[in-house]
Amino acid sequence: MNAIEVRGLRKSYGGNTAVAGVDLAVGEGEVFALLGPNGAGKTTTTEILEGYRDRDGGEVRVLGVDPAAADRRWRAEIGIVLQTANDAADLTVRETVRQFFGYYPDPRGVEEVLALCGLTEKANARISSLSGGQRRRVDVALGIIGRPRLLFLDEPTTGFDPEVRRQFWDLVRSLAAEGTTILLTTHYLDEAEALADRLAVIAAGRIVAEGTPRTVGGRDRAPATVSWVDAGGPHELRTTDPVRTVVELSARGPVHELQVRRPSLEDIYLDLIGARA
């Protein structure tokens, strides 16, 4: 069963097309990353899935329900971490989380959520006193306290330092292990590669590639670059059979600084969005 099913999704603003016929399916329990440059349509698509924005056309089902006609019961099963959020600056962290605790029928414990999001030491601090990264952690806490079946994460680690970012990755993995479906939008391609079971790249309002981080855009079939140094100097060769190249090099005699480099996810992503720029 799919947690998200989208067919022919369309949305325009005036004469500008933001989403131009998106098809998408996200399986239950899957971590799915939606990648794309600013203005590509990923935020509009996500907001339609969350029930925040109306669509012009297409079919959408999220947890089996059309978000445009969803009720409070459906919303209790959805967790959302928005890219930007307005919060009660005068409340403490604990007070803010406790307030949201009361909105859900089966929430996680307040102290549990504070610990999961690395906020225990800041529990009594006012929201207005927090750093940008700490405020972002509060956003995440509010997104997961309802024990959602489906969690939307829109640029969740913006402002996180490297250590806290890795801790957040562990949190996402633990939520996925519990069966939570996660839709992640991020500009950090290493984050998508580390977390996503599958991903899609959207550009100019259309999905231009979809697959696993290893296979998307033909990454697993793309030529590798073999470089080495021998008596004749440095060399570099692009090949679809790097193993054969290495074997042939070893038969010729001594080589140094031998490296085999396959295209990174960033290389593939930039090729995909560049072709549609």
Per-residue confidence at 114, pLDDT binned at 50, 70, 90? very high
Class of domain 2-217: alpha beta
Per-residue confidence at 86, pLDDT binned at 50, 70, 90? low
CA-only gyration radius of the chain, Å: 22
User: In the structure encoding, which two tokens stand for residue 83, read together?
Assistant: 């890219």
What pLDDT does residue 277 have? 47
Q: Which residues pair with 237 in a beta bridge?
A: 226
Please, which residues have CB within 8 angstroms of residue 232's CB and are 6 or more apart in sequence? none
Per-residue confidence at 160, pLDDT binned at 50, 70, 90? confident
What pLDDT does residue 84 have? 64
Find the mean pLDDT for residues 113-142. 89
